[in-house]
Structure 1
Amino acid sequence: MIVSNRFPSQEVKKKLRNFVLDPIVDNIAWPDITIHTKANRYLSNIGESAFSVLSVNGQGNAHIKLNNKELKISKDTFLVLGPFQTFDYLIEHVTPVEVLNFHLGIQSYQDAMAALSLSQETLLNNGLESQYCPDIIAHIHLKSEPFGRLLNDYDQSDSERYIFNVVNYTLGVNAENNRLINNIQGTKNSTKQELFRRMSLARDIIYSQYDYPEMNLEYLSKEVFMSKFHFLRVFKQTFGITPYQMIRDVRINKIFQMVIQKDIDINEIAILTGVSEPNTVYALYKEALERRKSLAAL
């Protein structure tokens, strides 16, 4: 595993591919690499992704344009990308944003996925020819504290163990998503798959655009091309809470983080979290404190 404290040049990124089949073409095979660096202004286009985990440490955001979706990664979230995807990556912030991005070459990805997903018998019978590539659907996920520590453990453990642990965690997140599909009731499998794709997109929008004041049921249902009440019903079936509850939960967590930073004005917090009335910030912060107390008591 290579560790770098800077982004590769745009010239290099244009050449990165999962497979380098033609020796005449000047392409470069994706290495196993963790990039841990800071930037306040950075723009790149990735023509063909590796298996990647994109994350942010601390303040600021990384912006991703993927499949015509505008996504935003903060310190509370991470984005998992499967191989062979094209996306734009943008950082634009007044102060440097610390990012930690994990990229895995196709052979390491296939080997790790096979070891984690296939039976012992299959692995023994196929030997080194096992090439298991599950469908990794690019979505934003909440970043737990243990996973945040794991991502930052690249210089504390051996490379193989680090790769194995990161892939194992992301594979579990992907499996959990697949289980959520079964919460959607009363329809054939292909329809469930499409409905879940739209619900996941709505969740991505909530995680990315929580600072948009007009984030509500009508806005989200239009973004996923569904009627309000159909969207509400399927969203609640899928995630067990309403869109309003998810938006509120995300904003409460953000407000709690910002309020404990003494140098942030309450009006600025309201703007940064999409809360139209600054006075509402106090009520949400109080609820966040009560939740923290309840968790601490468990």
Structure 2
Amino acid sequence: MAPLTGNEIPARQPLIHMSEQLRHTPLNFDDIIIHSRLRDFEKSVTDSGLSIKLGHIGTERYLFKNQQVSLQRGSYLLVNRHQTFDCFIRNPTPVEGFCFYLSPRLIQEAASGLSRSVEDLLDHPAPKSNNKAPHFLEKIYRTDENKLGRYLEQLRPALVAHEQLDFNQVFFDVATALLRTHWRTEQEMRGIDCTRRSTREELYRRLCAARQFIFDNYCNDIQLEELAKAALLSKFHLLRTYKQAFGITPYQQVLELRLHKASRLVQEGGNLSHVASELGFSDRRSFTKAFKKKFGVAPSYYRAG
């Protein structure tokens, strides 16, 4: 699909390739995917559409309320409708990304499909118009941490290869995954023992920073002090609220990630002693004990036959 040369968006074109014309285009689309390719770019957005920005090549930087965030491959940024932010890119080679814009009607239809019974949908197929659009938690998410991120990663190769897609289904699937992820996030936030919504959201953001540190470093010897520093919380506060939100302690989170990776490596034929050492276990014996407790079989089971 050839990139646009003007500022207008053609009707019924769900995937659009854009570069410099983004400087002069209001970023408040509905049900469109923008594939951007930029090297030197800066824009202030005063009224955005609901969007999911997926990092692809290089780094995009955004400024929300004087807080800068960086978007790269392996992560996505969620931005609510009517948001204000600045975007800027400075790079000698092109930076690429995909941005999914979702309309209020699409979110409403997806929410109706998820929340209503089959019988109700058959009797009243039109979505209920009195459903208030949810306010999503705006932050950088890892694509491997939730349903939406995993779906975007599955979709990425088809978008890059310009494959023919059923975009009606794609947009509905993205909206559905977004809502499921939002409800899971709300459930995790409700677990935090805090009265004020704004305080709970801030605590959750900080806990997510600690969780991201764990995901990035779980093969290493992570100290509680490092996690507390990443989250800007005291060690006690971090331990208490982390389990409230995620139902697991930081130590258990590290162990779970190590064991799931160990399972993949062992099934691929990895040497057990090397796997144990690579994933931070003190020795093969402690690795075998933890593996068997988690999966019900020793890692040597995968060597049988």
TM range, normalised to the smaller chain?
Answer: 0.5 to 0.7
What residue in structure 2 maps to residue 68 of structure 1?
A: 66
Instruction: Give unpaired runs (5+ residues) of structure 2.
Output: 1-12, 145-149, 218-224, 262-274, 281-286, 292-298
Contact 2:42 2:88 in 1 (8 A): yes
What letter is aligned with 1:229? F
Give 1:85 deviation, angstroms.
1.4
Distance in 1, matches of 2:278 and 2:234, equals 34
Instruction: Check conservation: 2:191, 2:244, Cα contact below 8 A.
Output: yes
Tell me how far 1:103 sits from its aligned partner. Answer: 0.9
Structure 1 residues 205, 237: CA separation in 2 closer, same or farther (over 3 Å shift)? closer
Asked if structure 2 preserves the Cα contact closer than 8 Å seen for 1:181 and 1:193, the reply is no
Give the conservation status (yes or no) of the 8 Å contact 1:5–1:35.
Answer: yes
In the TM superposition, residue 79 of structure 1 has moved relative to its aligned partner by 1.7
- Please show how residues 38-187 of structure 1 align to structure 2 within 5 Å: 38-57=37-56, 59-119=57-117, 121=120, 125=124, 127=126, 130=129, 132=131, 133-144=133-144, 146-153=151-158, 155-184=163-192, 187=193
SS of the counterpart of 2:136? Answer: coil
1:242 to 250, 255, 279: 250
- Letter of the structure 2 residue corresponding to residue 178 of structure 1: E
Identical-residue share of aligned pairs (%): 21
In the alignment, does 2:39 pair up with 1:2?
A: no
What residue number does 1:24 align with? none
Between stretches 81-90 and 139-148, larger displacement belongs to 139-148
Gaps of 5+ in 1: 18-29, 254-282
Asked if 1 retains the 8 angstrom alpha-carbon contact of 2:209 and 2:230, the reply is: no
After TM superposition, give the deviation of residue 115 of structure 1 in Å: 3.3
Partner of 2:33: 34
- The 1:160/1:41 distance shift into structure 2, 3 A limit, reads same
Structure 1 position 192, deviation (Å): 7.1
Aligned-residue Cα RMSD (Å) equals 4.1
Counterpart secondary structure, 2:30? coil
Aligned letter for 2:16?
S
CA distance in 2, matches of 1:82, 1:217: 29
Give the corresponding residue for 2:268.
none
> Which position in structure 2 is the counterpart of 1:259?
none
Aligned to 1:216: 226
Q: Secondary structure at the match of 1:130?
A: coil
Please list the CA deviations of residues 239-267 of structure 1 after superposition, one character each: whole Å capped at 9, or x if unmatched: 32439977xx7xxx9xxxxxxxxxxxxxx
Alpha-carbon distance change, 181 to 105 in structure 1, aligned in 2, over 3 angstroms: closer
Aligned length in residues: 237
- The offset of 1:221, in angstroms, is 4.8
Larger Rg: 2
Name the TM-score, length of structure 1 as normaliser. Answer: 0.63
Q: Is contact 2:50–2:103 with CA below 8 Å preserved after alignment? A: yes
